[in-house]
Amino acid sequence: MSADRSRRTVHAFGFGRRGASAVVVVTLLSGLAGCAAEPAAAPTSDPRTVRPAPPSAAPSTPAPGPAAATGRWRVVEGVGAIAGGLAAPWAVVALPDGSIAVSERDSGIVRVITAGGVVDELGRLDDVVSGGESGLHGLAVLDEGDRQWLYAYHGAAADNRVVRVPLTSSDDGWRWGEVEEVFSGIPRARTHNGGRIAFGPDGLLYVATGDAQNVGAAQDPEQLGGKILRLTPDGRPAPGNPFGNAVYSLGHRNVQGLAWTADGTMWASEFGQNSWDELNRIDAGGNYGWPAVEGLAGDERFRDPVAVWPTAEASPSGIAAVGETVFMTGLRGERLWAIDVSAADAAVGEPVVVLDGYGRLRDAVATGDGGLWVLTNNTDGRGDPREGDDLLLQVPLGRID
């Protein structure tokens, strides 16, 4: 990436195909053919009000089931800011009326962004205890037609937990109801808290947990740390889970991204320790190796990742899937990658940087109309905040095929 951090660039790209190789080792890409993007809209004097193009309409069901789009996708020109002035934002999710909810890690506040780009407080989770990397993390929405639920993953005094809040629509916007506990007892530490939640195409709630600095827990199917959990919407272990409890997959260090491609395949991004960050294809009962292995192991006991990045170049967080393309955000890497996962076998296309210059990127969400929302994360204590940070970006996409 250019030393000029204020430059905001969108790179054009195409996907290459790989042969039988199951793993792509990604190094920093230089000299990519690209084109300059539209600069993000500048904040007004009130940093919580930005006047760019309005956000895309939310899909009628914001749960991220298989995308209606098919094929492979790329970022095109026209990136702009929907809103700015966010404080350590962590997750973004569509609300049923087309507005957008964003969690703020340290404050425990969920912000709402209107179609005009105005940021307001939707509600506050009073039991959030922040510190280190812990606090308010992932969000998910369940639209039951006559009732909407906002789910959240957050750190509390003694654990990480999932809660939900009923949202009621009114003339003044959404009304925040009484918080209900959905699932608790997930181990918490200053780091490795996981935190991404999402409803899958099966209508069940998937919860990514970290090892909470207890590496041995990741290999124990009776412990909740270092796992992906699968729950019913009311917090019970989902029927058919492979270990007869809430655990869906194990052997994870710190998963912070969940998404499903158009064929229903589940994908997860994962922080490594000293060697490799990972993109994994997730299967029920799969063991992904931590702490016995990191990255490509070739050990039949464990599932190898389909793509890896040196830890100095990625620190992957949220991911989004559009068609057969997975878009992955990077914190330390300060990039958005696109990974072609359309191959029928274990191979994937060469991951390519498609967006950089905005600093740390925390989350990416498919909008349902051929675009992405991408959340920057420069105010989390590890970034280099600039005027207007943090931003929610609208990133347009175009089909490759």
pLDDT tens for 116-159 read 889 999 999 999 999 999 999 999 999 988 889 999 999 999 99
Most confident of 111-120, 143-152, 234-243: 234-243
**Which backbone phi and psi does 54 adopt, to 5 degrees?**
-65, 160
Q: 307-310 and 24-25 as β-strands: parallel, antiparallel, unpaired? A: parallel
Residue 160 or 46, more confident? 160
pTM for the model: 0.86
Residues 187 and 222: beta-carbon distance below 8 Å: no
Q: Which residues contact 320 (CB under 8 A, 6 or more apart)?
A: 64, 259, 326, 327, 364, 365, 366, 372
Residue 109 or 401, more confident? 109
- Residues shown for the chain: 401
Residues 317 and 331: beta-carbon distance below 8 Å: yes
Interatomic CA distance for residues 302 and 295, integer angstroms: 11
Kindly list the distances between the CA atom of residue 279 and the CA atoms of 13, 68, 286, 387, in Å, as whole numbers in the listed order. Answer: 20, 22, 14, 32
Q: Which residues contact 109 (CB under 8 A, 6 or more apart)?
A: 103, 121, 122, 123, 124, 125, 136
Kindly list the distances between the CA atom of residue 11 and the CA atoms of 1, 29, 280, 318, 401, in Å, as whole numbers in the listed order. Answer: 11, 11, 25, 20, 18
CA angle 144, 148, 150 (to 5 degrees): 125
Q: State the DSSP code for 297.
A: -
**Which of these ranges, 14-18, 134-138, 323-327, has the smallest mean pLDDT?**
14-18
pLDDT of residue 173: 83
Interatomic CA distance for residues 98 and 207, integer angstroms: 24
CA nearest to 396, candidates 117, 75, 93, 100: 75
Residue 290 or 7, more confident? 290
Interatomic CA distance for residues 119 and 31, integer angstroms: 37
pLDDT of residue 249: 98
Interatomic CA distance for residues 236 and 232, integer angstroms: 5
Q: How confident is the model at residue 65 (pLDDT cuts 50, 70, 90)?
A: very low
pLDDT tens for 337-373 read 999 998 766 667 789 999 999 999 999 999 988 899 9
**Both tokens assigned to 125:** 């989770």
Residue 39 or 305, more confident? 305
CA nearest to 277, candidates 373, 185, 351, 174: 351
Interatomic CA distance for residues 341 and 278, integer angstroms: 14
